[in-house]
Amino acid sequence: MDNFSKITDDSQNREYSNDEITVFWKPGKCVHATTCYKELIEVFNPRRRPWVNMYGAPTERIIEIVNKCPTEALTYKWNDEAKNKETINLKNERLKKGEGQNVTSQQAKPVTIQVMRDGPLVVQGDFEVFDEKGNKLKHMIMTSFCRCGASNSQPFCDGYHRKIGFNSEK
């Protein structure tokens, strides 16, 4: 694990289960894209405690939204270990960031950079990341870049923007 886990308070992490899957919630990784609660308020409702209601929608629908979350804030696992092995976990695939992939330009998905208010740059699509020395770090399909200057896992966001109260609008 990266430095991040030590800095952000892991005790905030939560797990929510229904009969089929368990959803993992890491608030430190949330960039407030609001995707989850805009799309499925029956399950993800920040005004409720606990904020995730695993019986608010069918499992397939919950997985669909977890897959849409652009960060590691929401992930899931089947409760049945065998099922984790036989089914493709799209979210985990994406979190592995498509490393080492070789996509031709025809197959490459267009890149969007979403600028998060008081938070990072959320990048999705097919892209390549190079370090300060010009070395190719990796091919990625989803990540968030720090724009507050304070992350401890530069160039990526580690959630620290909230600790420093980053205000991107001033």
d(CA 71, CA 79): 22
Q: Does 111 bind another protein (CB under 8 A)?
A: yes
Q: Single out the residue of 150, 152, 153, 162 in contact with another protein (rule: CB under 8 A).
A: 150
- Ranges within 42-61 binding ligand SF4 (CB under 6 A): none
Which among ligand FES, ligand SF4, another protein, none contacts residue 32 (Cβ within 5 to 8 A by kind)?
ligand SF4
Residues 126, 98: contact at Cβ < 8 Å? yes
Q: Nearest distance from residue 149's CB to ligand FES, in Å? A: 7
Query: How many degrees, rounded to 5, is the angle at CA 71 between CA 157 and CA 123?
Result: 70
Question: Is the preceding omega at residue 50 within 30 degrees of 0, hence cis?
Answer: yes
> Which residue has tokens 């892991």?
10
Options 10-18, 39-47, 76-84, 149-157: segment touching ligand FES (CB under 6 A)? 149-157
Q: Does 8 bind ligand SF4 (CB under 6 A)?
A: no
Q: Does 160 bind ligand FES (CB under 6 A)?
A: yes
Amino acid symbol at 33:
A
Closer Cβ to ligand FES, 90 or 121, answer by number: 121
Options 2-10, 27-35, 101-109, 128-136: segment touching ligand SF4 (CB under 6 A)? 27-35
Beta bridge partners of 164: none
Residue 135 DSSP one-character state? -
Closer Cβ to ligand FES, 24 or 156, answer by number: 156
Q: Does 157 bind ligand SF4 (CB under 6 A)?
A: no
The C-alpha torsion from 90 through 91 and 96 to 98, rounded to 10°, is 50
